[in-house]
Structure 1
């Protein structure tokens, strides 16, 4: 696949420039605050607030604009979208640009609290896939709930089982959901 080859080339380039070792990124927001009995860093509060704002803006963009409707139409049926006059190539490029921009924003927010290395995206992509399957294809609220379910499951697993098995929980949830409810918990009709 050409996209996979491009991703491998980018990963190899990053490894050439920065090396294969884990890197840390300093945060300008290292202060710790206490809110409602929770102790959080300002960086984590920034991540949570940004995620909520971005989810709301993305939802409004997809539901209230013509371009958003075009993206949804193309996701549901590319040929049908083309037949009703939507320039599917332009919409695909815009969607790719938006997804890349959102990924870059998420990475810039999350990298100060995580170790960074060239191959780190694989686990993130797996977890995103699990969240999409869990929530149901085409359901933004389902994806949000799926993210919370996966996050809570991993946290509980790390606390009560072992931190070493935290990432395996995503695989286990994927297998269970695909077995019990293959279309996801909140799948829309036709998906």
Structure 2
């Protein structure tokens, strides 16, 4: 029983990271109908910026996360303005090719600047703790707490602010949003900024557990796309439920089946859910 509870907690930790990354993807797709394959590059940059802010500037862990969030949000805005916006009327394949190009560019840039070695991000929350027989660390608890807080704040932002209402309006009816005077460019930039900030948070809280390295965004973004598809393209609740399902399934599968098949489990789960519900668990837009 203790082993089951331990793996459920580990799955909750893993799922929390998937949720943060997947929500960013979901928002961009819901508003712009663009599957941002370059989102993993934002996750990658977020992890390195947090690490370098701590090492180079000597700032506290949370200050480093804020620096990373702001920086990656600005990079995401530039990505939208310089790449995706000019391609909005181009054939659909063009933005996907451009996104893959950005992934290759940022991977090469990170390797050039920081090298290819694995690096450890040391935080004040690395100590171990036992809660109800579950052995964990304060960092893993922090991952779950941060994910919960961020999801709550994001929901409040989307439902209680004018900008949030504009994002939802764009997701529900793009043409109607234009007719009532919503600034599509401003909404697009804000959506990419939020997406980038979420990627930076996810990388910053998971890196002390998983290390920082140039390929860290690749597997995470693949899993995030699985989560988005399982939950329903453009659905934030779907991204949350899908992230939890995938995280817990992977954790249990690695323990009771084999850790060698952990990554395969994600795609097997995708096939099963797509067979039962081809449009995902939720398919009604952002909300």
TM-score, reference length from structure 1: 0.91
Give 2:249's match in structure 1, choosing from 150, 153, 166: 153
**Deviations 1:51-110, CA, capped at 9 Å, x for gaps:** 100011111111222211211222234333222211111110111111111111111111
Please state how far the C-alpha of 1:187 moved relative to its aligned partner. 2.5
TM-score by length of 2: 0.62
- Where structure 1 has 5 or more consecutive residues not aligned to the other structure, the ranges are none
- Which residue in the other structure is 2:225 paired with? 129
Looking at structure 2, the residues matched to 76 and 127 of structure 1 have their Cα atoms a distance apart, in angstroms, of 26
Secondary structure of 1:72 counterpart: helix
Alpha-carbon distance, 1:150 to partner: 0.5
**C-alpha distance in structure 2 between counterparts of 1:79 and 1:32, whole Å:** 52
- The correspondence for 2:118, drawn from 22, 29, 32, is 22
Per the alignment, in what secondary structure is the counterpart of residue 166 of structure 1? helix
Q: Are the aligned partners of 1:33 and 1:40 in contact in 2 as well (CA < 8 Å)?
A: yes
Runs of 4 or more, structure 1, over 6 Å off, are: none
C-alpha separation between the residues in 2 aligned to 1:123 and 1:32? Answer: 27
1:3 to 99, 104, 107: 99
Aligned to 2:185: 89
Which residue is 1:119 aligned to?
215
> Is 2:267 the partner of 1:171?
yes
Counterparts in 2 of 1:179-190, with a 5 A limit? Answer: 179-188=275-284
Q: Which has the higher contact order (CA 8 A, sep 6+)?
A: 2
Q: Is the 8 A contact 1:59 1:140 kept in 2?
A: no
Equivalent residue number for residue 98 of structure 1: 194
Work out the CA distance in 2 between the residues paired with 1:103 and 1:11.
16
For 1:59 and 1:189, locate their aligned partners in 2 and report how far apart those are by CA, in whole Å. Answer: 14
SS in 2 for 1:167: helix
RMSD across aligned positions (CA): 2.0
Which structure has the highest helix share of the two? 2
Paired positions, count: 191
Please list every run of 5 or more consecutive structure 2 residues that lacks an aligned counterpart in the other structure.
1-96
Q: Report the counterpart of residue 78 of structure 1 in structure 2.
A: 174
